[in-house]
Chains A and B, each alone.
Chain A
Amino acid sequence: MELTLLQISIFIAFGLLLLAFVFALLRLFRGPSSSDQIVALDLIASIVMGFILLYSLLLEREIYFDIAIIIAMISFLGTIAISIYLKRKS
């Protein structure tokens, strides 16, 4: 099977995003304060959105774009909810 240029670049981008995911996960486990962990979760949501957009390019399915919209909304609501909770608690 011959890989096209687009597929090769998508696989390289998958590798880079996986490395970024591992770095964010390290910060999520290691983070000293809880605001660091919220920042790491925000970055992880962005990385997952990038994964899904690249996957829609790889499979040539246009409908996967909607998942990225939903993840954007849910990550924004989650970040705001956790930070308001922490603000009220302290």
Chain B
Amino acid sequence: MKEIVIAIFILLGSLFMLVSAIGLLRFRDTLSRLHATTKAPSFAMLLFVLAVCIYFGSVMLILKAVLLILFIYLTAPLAAHSISKVNQKQ
């Protein structure tokens, strides 16, 4: 049962990453590409980290995983904002 949930999370996460890469390749505008690569990879990373947490399940790892997810969800919009400011200047 645990393995099925982990497999679903892993496949869904890599599918989200692939969708984001296709969006990066196919969209025409820089801001559209930024839109494709900001949100989907953070959700994919959330799924991967949840899969690792379910598989190992130790307390220290769960603490580190919460910190990593918080860090990713705090810094992805900041990086996207900074890149869009560069695009605005040019």
CA distance A54 to B72 in the complex (A): 18
Pairwise interchain contact A13-B14, C-beta atoms closer than 8 A: yes
**Mask of B55-90 contacts with A, CB within 8 angstroms, 1/0:** 110100100110110011001001100110111011
Pairwise interchain contact B79-A80, C-beta atoms closer than 8 A: yes
CA distance A50 to B9 in the complex (A): 12
Contacts of A39 in B (CB 8 A): 24, 30, 33-34, 37, 83
Partner of A16, one of B15, B24, B78: B15
Partner of A13, one of B3, B11, B20, B67: B11
Partner of B90, one of A19, A56, A79, A90: A90
CA distance A86 to B86 in the complex (A): 7
CA distance A13 to B52 in the complex (A): 14
Contacts of B34 in A (CB 8 A): 35, 39
Residue count of chain A within 8 Å CB distance of chain B: 50
Interface: A69 (CB within 8 A):
yes
Query: Measuring CB to CB, which residues of chain B are less than 8 angstroms from any residue of chain A?
Result: 3-4, 6-7, 10-11, 13-15, 17-18, 20-22, 24-25, 30, 33-34, 37, 41-42, 44-45, 48-49, 51-52, 55-56, 58, 61, 64-65, 67-68, 71-72, 75, 78-79, 82-83, 85-87, 89-90
Query: Measuring CB to CB, which residues of chain A are less than 8 angstroms from any residue of chain B?
Result: 4-6, 8-10, 12-14, 16-17, 19-21, 23-24, 26-27, 33-36, 38-40, 42-43, 46-47, 49-50, 53-54, 56-57, 62, 65-66, 68-69, 72-73, 76, 79-80, 83-84, 86-87, 90
